[in-house]
Structure 1
Amino acid sequence: MAAYPWTAETWPIASAMIHRRNALGDGRTVQDQSAEEWAVALGEVRAAGFHHVDPTDSWIRLADLEPARVDEFMAVARSLGLGVPAISTARRSVIDPVEGDAYLAYGHRLIDTAARIGATAVSFGFFGPLSPEQQRALWFWTVPGVVNPDEPATWAKAVERIRELGRHGAELGIEVALEMYEDTYLGTAESAVRFCTEVDLPNVKLNCDIGNLVRLHRPVEHPQAMMEKLAPFAGYWHAKNYLRLEDSSTGVVMSSPAPMESGVINYREAVRLALSHGFRSAFLLEHYGGDGLSVCAANQQYLRRILSTALATSR
């Protein structure tokens, strides 16, 4: 097995930017902000203790900025001591029935942008835009969203388009990570493994964000059982956790975001399992509700403790 590229202290663990939105209160978007304004948001991340950030495209679409503005953004990040190991894209599915072609082109621009800034991975998914009902809900995952069609032709189209992005990524040394998400072709461990296997490219891996599944108010596979299937395919990893309560007498299921060490996913075992199968990618930390950035900061320390033990015992 290849040596680990980092220590527990240097392993890239990025903060997501889901605690901030692209739209601003004054009618502008983050795309329009000055370098000084970007520095405020990024400085907050650095002050929380992070050395890495994922400029998640729900916050800023780097691929839609002019190259000079991308360079300006990166200059701000580097001046604050922040690296960008990867970029995540959300709700821009390459099989969207209306915008799929445009999102495929965007995906290619995103891969080019990742290479330009020195990132090594891009995360893609097949989940669609939030419905008005989801936007009104306290937790959007409690309301049904977009469902990928149970059609062989659409599945094949998804495989071919991800294969196309994967080949582009391989040319530039970029990993393509596919995000787990309910009611998509990556909505169960079995389906995600089948999909990744059909794409059949070494740089196309699975973003094992099983937090997106354990939060659902419906029956789901046990997290450990999911990870046993996913670990050999694990790549850039969105990590978060949830409390989950199940009443077997009524079938009622409830969930709530939780710190990584407190939720139903045993990340100590999940990380150890992934490492044993060759996981060598960055992490991204997410948390919904309250002061998500501070929860992620605490989660970073927990994850580094896990890595310290796992790396020491696996040498």
Structure 2
Amino acid sequence: MTARPDLTADTWPIAVCMHGFAPIGRDGIALHDAPAERWDALFAEVASLGFTELELADSHIRPADLEPSRRAELLSIAGGHGVSIISVHVQRQSVLQPGREDRNLDYAHRTVDAAAEMGMSVFSTGLHHPFSEAQKRALWFWTAPGWKDPDDADTRAFAVDRLRELGKHAQDAGLPMALEMYEDTYLGTADSAVQLIQEIGLDNVGLNPDIGNLVRLHRPIEDWREMHAKTLPYANYWHVKNYARDEAGDGSWFSSTPTSMELGLINYRQVVRDAVELGFRGPFLMEQYGGDSLGVCATNRDYLRTLLPRS
């Protein structure tokens, strides 16, 4: 990643996620297809919370599938509120999804092109798949079983080839590519995620060490300190969120619930300091499930700025 030693607590890019906005409006129109007025209201709310950066989630708006005129309109509306769209996150469209491998790869390539055209700073993706029916029914999707990448060397090698192809495209477009850690994929443990980055072998491809995705699982997990120690040297973009976690000493039960960055299991005061000392200079993305997602993201942003260097 390109070093940016000038970043301080006041200037570090901290984006908000789109979880707080409905992907489908009350009128049944998807946010992706919504008129300019609805987009304007979205960015007005983002700006009212003090955010100047936003991550575009393709669950809400797919830049690859927007006409060029609508991409320009989206940028104009965001800019009118002083908000920059700094990244796009392609989620649940894995290059390993059965029956959609080639389609998803093509879509990811088109998203890289759209991100570059729109002046974004990061292309983010991962290997997680669409929700299973059980996950769709669950209060919290991470408490139900979903896709698992096969323990198969050929499939893993196929994933590496596909992700390397995407990474080279992003590199040619002048973008870093971040791969999000997520359970039961080849990015589902610290060792496997680091190995995957090493196998891809491109300087612009790094990790999004979203270890909150793993802390929330209702099962045994790796120690959060060890996971961060292994993955932070490879981080180039970072989704941050936290969960309160409890578990029985005999391993008979586990529970978790979303909370603020300051109150959850992960000690962000420690891991943010460690990341900066290791050279992390990528943007942060505030993420929150449940409740007032946007409000908690704003609270977390203010807390995060107290952890970043003042000069």
After TM superposition, the score normalised by the length of structure 2 is: 0.97
What pairs with 1:205-244 in structure 2 (closer than 5 Å)?
Answer: 205-244=206-245
State the shift of 1:31 in Å: 2.0
Task: Tell me the distance in 2 between the aligned counterparts of 1:230 and 1:304.
Answer: 22
SS in structure 1 opposite 2:53? coil
**Which deviates the most, 181-190 or 2-11?**
2-11
State the shift of 1:257 in Å: 0.3
Distance 1:10 1:248, change over 3 A: same
Distance 1:41 1:123, change over 3 A: same
Q: Contact 1:186 / 1:192 at 8 angstroms: preserved in 2? A: yes
Identity of aligned residues (%): 48
State the shift of 1:176 in Å: 0.5
Task: Tell me the distance in 2 between the aligned counterparts of 1:192 and 1:213.
Answer: 13
2:118 corresponds in structure 1 to 117
Could you tell me which amino acid in structure 1 is paired with residue 308 of structure 2? L
Distance 1:253 1:101, change over 3 A: same
**Which deviates the most, 125-134 or 65-74?**
125-134
Q: Contact 1:159 / 1:195 at 8 angstroms: preserved in 2? A: yes
Could you tell me which amino acid in structure 1 is paired with residue 284 of structure 2? F
Task: Tell me the distance in 2 between the aligned counterparts of 1:185 and 1:27.
Answer: 36
What pairs with 1:3-82 in structure 2 (closer than 5 Å)?
Answer: 3-82=4-83
Task: Tell me the distance in 1 between the aligned counterparts of 2:283 and 2:251.
Answer: 40
Q: Structure 1: which 4+ aligned runs deviate by more than 3 Å?
A: none
1:259 maps onto 2:254 in alignment? no
Task: Tell me the distance in 1 between the aligned counterparts of 2:165 and 2:287.
Answer: 28
Task: Tell me the distance in 2 between the aligned counterparts of 1:99 and 1:43.
Answer: 36
Task: Tell me the distance in 1 between the aligned counterparts of 2:232 and 2:266.
Answer: 14
SS in structure 1 opposite 2:55? coil
Q: Contact 1:123 / 1:178 at 8 angstroms: preserved in 2? A: yes
Could you tell me which amino acid in structure 2 is paired with residue 204 of structure 1? V
State the shift of 1:250 in Å: 5.0
Q: Contact 1:5 / 1:280 at 8 angstroms: preserved in 2? A: no
After TM superposition, the score normalised by the length of structure 1 is: 0.95
State the shift of 1:22 in Å: 2.4
State the shift of 1:132 in Å: 2.0
Could you tell me which amino acid in structure 1 is paired with residue 128 of structure 2? F
**Which deviates the most, 288-297 or 110-119?**
110-119
Q: Contact 1:179 / 1:209 at 8 angstroms: preserved in 2? A: yes
RMSD of the alignment, in Å? 1.3
1:140 corresponds in structure 2 to 141
2:188 corresponds in structure 1 to 187
Task: Tell me the distance in 1 between the aligned counterparts of 2:284 and 2:198.
Answer: 22
Higher relative contact order (CA 8 A, sep 6+): 2
SS in structure 1 opposite 2:206? strand
SS in structure 2 opposite 1:53? strand
SS in structure 2 opposite 1:90? coil
What pairs with 1:270-285 in structure 2 (closer than 5 Å)?
Answer: 270-285=271-286
Could you tell me which amino acid in structure 1 is paired with residue 27 of structure 2? D
2:157 corresponds in structure 1 to 156
SS in structure 2 opposite 1:55? strand
State the shift of 1:137 in Å: 1.0
Task: Tell me the distance in 2 between the aligned counterparts of 1:296 and 1:22.
Answer: 18
The one-character-per-residue Cα deviations of 1:149-169 (angstroms, maximum 9, x if unpaired) are 111111011101110011011
Q: Contact 2:4 / 2:281 at 8 angstroms: preserved in 1? A: no
Task: Tell me the distance in 2 between the aligned counterparts of 1:140 and 1:197.
Answer: 30
Could you tell me which amino acid in structure 2 is paired with residue 9 of structure 1? D
